[in-house]
Every structure is written in C-alpha cells, then in structure tokens.
Amino acid sequence: MQGLSAAPPAAFLLLVCLSELLPLPAAAAPDAERELSPSSRLAAGAARVALHYLNFQTASPGKLQALGQVRKATLKTIPDSGHKYYLQFTTEDYKSGENAGSCLATVLYPNTKSPPVVSIKCMQSKDQEQIQEEDNRLYQKLRHQKKPITGNNIPDSHGNIEPALESVWALAVAGSSYIMWEKSRENMGYFMAQVKSVKQWIRKDDFTEFDYTILLHEIPTQDIISCHMRLTWLPGHPLKVKYFCASVNHGLEDGSGMESGSAAGVLHEKGPNF
C-alpha cells in the first residue's frame, strides 16, 4: 500500500497535463437586448407606466403629460429581477394635446408583485414659471371656494367637462396616476375613464382635500375598475393619495396609500379607512 508521500500514478499526471491544454468553459454571455417595434403594445404600455409615475411624482396639474409617440424601445431580461424596458418617446400636454417635449425612461417589471420600478427624465417645451403660475391660480380658486366643490360624471356622456370642474379633473388625473402606476403589470395597463363623483373637504390648514370615485379602464381585459380615492394637495408639496379599488365584476380588489417621495423610495400606508 502506498504511503502519504508516494508519487502520483502516471495516469493521474497525464490527466492533469491534458486538462491544462483544454480551453476554459466560456463565461456566461450577458443577456442580449431585443429591439421592439415602437408601435408595439408592450412599448406603449411601458411608456405610459413611466408617465403615470412622472405625473404623480410631479404633483402638478399644470404639468400633466400624456404619451405622444414611442421613438425607440428595447427590452432586456434581467436574471432574477424581471423585464426591463429602455424607452425614448415624445409627450403631449394632457389638456391641450400640444407637443410637451420628450423623455428617456427605463421601466423594470419585477418578477414579484411589486409595482414597476421607473426612472425617467424629460425635456419639456412648457415654461416652468408658466406651469407654476397655472398651479397657483388653480390652487387659489380651489382654496377660496365659498361652498365645497361637488360634481358627478366628469366628463359627461358626450366627453365634455364643465369649466368649473376642470381643476378637480386635473387633480384626479394626477392622483389616479399613482393608482395606475402601482397596479400596472407588463401585460396589464390602465386609463382613467371618468370621475364618477367628487367632493371637496374644507380644511383649516393650507392644503386642499378631495374624495373621488373614479373609473379605470383596464387593458386588455376591458374591465372597468371603480376606485375610491382621497387626495390632498398643496402646490410645491407631494401629492398624498389613499385608495381602494373594486372590479365591477369581481368586487373588492385591493387598496393602498402613499405619500409621494423621491425616485429612491416611497412610503406605503396599507388599508386606508375613509
């Protein structure tokens, strides 16, 4: 029997020498990016998610933007994370439909049930001072109401919005953008279809506060989702939104609430009571 100091057998030495001559295993190639057609549903859906996030974070009724055209879209699979979209697109002013600028964005749909992770930067054609003036005029109008604002069916069955209710409609778009961002998934998106009802609460501080019932149009299921949303707003401050939603077909669905934060993180308050 060989001792511990015995020389390795010749066959073993030959195997070691041969292994030195063999090529090393190739390193795993990074996930290739795939170009998407700018007109694809997935590209447009991801761009709208980015704008939902932006409209809520901006907290400015005068700065609301809608999707114009997707110019370029790329999809990359991130191992253990999800699908990430790299996007270039133009935007339109939500109210007038005029060109509002262009944006670069990334949208990551996590493998978990978490909301999409969005990073977005935009170049706007609208003057920032003009936007602030619009917001302040709107705020002063809301703040000095002799009677609380109430309204129903905005827009009406003909698509019209009364001038006196345009301000509460704009705030509903900003607030519902949070709900639509949080609920969106890679194959599921939302549009705000209508404000079914709105009621203003008179506060003693400087904030304005509203209770809304809004209808969201779910794509591609075509379901209508009814959401009760409480919104608090003051120009220059983050929007505060709490909500719960119920599918018209499936009853109580989910609820959440948050206080707007930076792109790095947000504060959730689950299960609001209205």
43-64 pLDDT tens trace:
999 999 999 999 999 999 999 9
Tell me the per-residue pLDDT of 203-226, one tens digit each, with 9 for 90 and over: 889 999 999 999 999 999 999 999
> What is the per-residue pLDDT for 258?
54
Q: Rounded to the nearest 10 degrees, how much is the dihedral formed by the CA atoms of 196, 201, 206, 208? A: 0
- Please say whether the beta carbons of 208 and 237 come within 8 A: no
pLDDT for 250 equals: 55
Work out the average pLDDT over 76-105: 94
Separation CA 154–CA 97 (nearest Å): 18
pLDDT at site 32: 66
Q: In sequence order, what DSSP letters do the residues of 120-161 get, joined into one string?
A: EEEEESS-HHHHHHHHHHHHHHHHT-SS--EEEEES-TTS--
Q: Going from the N-terminus, what domains does the chain have, and what CATH number goes with each?
A: 34-268 (3.10.450.10)
Please give the residue that has the higher pLDDT: either 31 or 200: 200
Read off φ and ψ for residue 269, nearest 5 degrees: -130, 100
The reported pLDDT for the residue numbered 270 is: 31
Q: What is the CA radius of gyration of the chain?
A: 26
Instruction: Report the range of poorest mean pLDDT among 136-145, 231-240, 244-253.
Output: 244-253
Task: Please report which confidence band the pLDDT of residue 18 belongs to, taking 50, 70 and 90 as the band edges.
Answer: very low
22 pLDDT higher than 70: no
Q: What is the predicted pLDDT for the residue at 138?
A: 92
pLDDT, position 124? 84
User: Looking at residue 80, what is its pLDDT?
Assistant: 87
pLDDT at 14 over 50: no
pLDDT tens track for 153-169: 999 989 999 998 999 99
